[in-house]
Amino acid sequence: MPENPQPTAADSGAGAPDDVARVEAVMAEPVSRGEPILSVRNLVKHFPLTQGIVFRRQVGAVRAVDGVSFDLHQGETLGIVGESGCGKSTVAKLLMNLERPTAGEVLYKGEDITRLSGRALKAVRRNIQMVFQDPYTSLNPRMTVGDIIGEPFDIHPDVAPRGDRRRKVQELLDVVGLNPEYINRYPHQFSGGQRQRIGIARGLALNPEIIICDEPVSALDVSVQAQVINLMEKLQDEFNLSYMFIAHDLSVVRHISDRVAVMYLGKVVEVGTDQEIYEHPTHPYTQALLSAVPVPDPSGRDQRERIVLTGDVPSPANPPSGCRFRTRCWKAEERCAAEIPLLAVPERFKDSDTPAAHESACHFAEEKDVVHA
């Protein structure tokens, strides 16, 4: 067992340069590295729990996000997976500056955007946009499609001259595969998949560099999911977008992501390329998560090992000491309760060249191929 894995700088992120080199050697498709376009450092968001009506006092805090760090590069898709309530959506809201973080930084091209306000914040918003989970509530039912997609131009008038906006809106409708003549229709006249396309068109309007997708397909039915995912991939190629793709569907995330971060109870437990995470998971939580992916082949289904976790996710208001996963982990020992495992390449894989050598926040990280078991 490795003792005290060395924490990398500010933990997580892309790691030390030599890790990057190794990762690149392993990866099938090369992803352009270099300066990350967005880097998140130790992001923390605690929602206060208050008591009393007139004189409120804080009795605790829900630790929705508790020290999350990662990098997003130009043109890359970073998938974030985790079960409900692990803080995925809160991370998205923090990145969008829709919530103020309790601590930590979100650096967009080196500038901390969490402290911005007014004009400077508005300027940054042009470059970071969001696609929402529920296409039924994310479009104003009392605005026409033209108004919805044209609203970004009203808010940022310098993007498109007034006379040009209608043409731009029709162009966007066309880009996402909707009939440009639908400009005067209302959201309720569209299906879920079409609405999500409208949401994507709104996100694209300002020509952003980063699009944060908060479960963009989980409200859609499976056939439509595929269309929307393919559309998003096409747009990524066309506009060189960086996606942060939040989902709880592991297959969808694998399909679209270059790198994947696994979250549990407000923390990132494992980060790596999609191949590293899906084929060579080292964190027990990731292994359990992957073992729950449905297998379409009945014979393969019998062969693989199914890791069934017992118990519920602990309350984020009162998370377990040490490793947050220890209450449900079959490997947990005393050390796990005493010592918080850092997100770093595990000591035992440090000098090896295997794909298992990626960041994993576990004292007893070891490879286990659950999918092919």
Partner 1 sequence: MPEPYETPSDALTPSTVGKAAEADLVGVPGTVAGPDPTLAFEGTTGLGTGTAPDSRAAADGEVATPGPPVAEPGPGLGPARGLWQDAWCDLRRNPVFVVSAVLILFLVLISAWPTLIAPGSPLQCDLADSRRGSAPGHPFGFDSQGCDVYTRTVHGARASVTVGICATAGVALLGSVVGGLAGFFGGWGDALLSRLTDVFFGIPMLLGGLVFLSVVRSGSVWPVVGFLVLLGWPQVARIARGAVIGAIQQDYVLAARALGAGNARLLLRHILPNAVAPVIVVATIALGTFVSLEATLSYLGVGLKPPTVSWGIDISAASTLVRNAPHMLLYPAGALSLTVLAFIMLGDAVRDALDPKLR
Site residues for partner 1, window 171-210 (CB under 8 A)? 171, 174-175, 177-186, 188-191, 193-194, 199, 202, 206
Minimum CB distance to partner 1 smaller for 177 or for 319:
177
Check residue 318 for interaction with partner 1 (CB under 8 A): no
Q: Binding segment for partner 1 among 13-21, 66-74, 295-303, 336-344 (CB under 8 A)?
A: 295-303
- Residue 360, C-beta contacts closer than 8 angstroms, at least 6 positions apart: 269, 270, 271, 272, 282, 283, 286, 343, 344, 345, 346
Of 17, 163, 294, 298, the one binding partner 1 by CB under 8 A: 294
DSSP result, 272-309: EEHHHHHHS--SHHHHHHHHTS--S-HHHHHHS---PP
- Candidates 70, 243, 264, 278; binder of partner 1 (CB under 8 A) is 278
132: contact with partner 1 by CB under 8 A: yes
CB-neighbour burial class of residue 312 (10 A; exposed 0-12, middle 13-18, buried 19+): exposed
Contact region with partner 1 (CB under 8 A), list: 78-86, 147-155, 316-324, 353-361: 147-155
* Residue 130 contacts residue 92 (beta carbons within 8 Å): yes
| 108 contacts partner 1 (rule: CB under 8 A) | no
* Pick 20 or 98: Cβ nearer partner 1: 98
Q: Tokens 């809160």 correspond to what residue? A: 90
**H or E element, residue 45:** strand 38-51
Instruction: Report in angstroms how near the CB of residue 112 gets to partner 1 at its nearest.
Output: 18
Q: Which of residues 59-88 bind partner 1 (CB under 8 A)?
A: none
Would you count residue 94 as binding partner 1 (CB under 8 A)? no
Among 33, 166, 335, 348, the residue binding partner 1 under the rule CB under 8 A is 166
Judged by CB under 8 A, the residue of 83, 85, 126, 348 near partner 1 is 126
Contact stretch for partner 1 (CB under 8 A) within 32-40, 151-159, 308-316, 318-326: 151-159
State which residue, 144 or 218, has the beta carbon closest to partner 1: 144
How far the first Cα of the chain sits from its last, in Å, is 24
CA distance 102 to 185: 41
The CA distances from residue 202 to 172, 224, 359, in Å, are 8, 19, 35
Task: Report yes or no: 135 and 195 within 8 Å, Cβ to Cβ.
Answer: yes
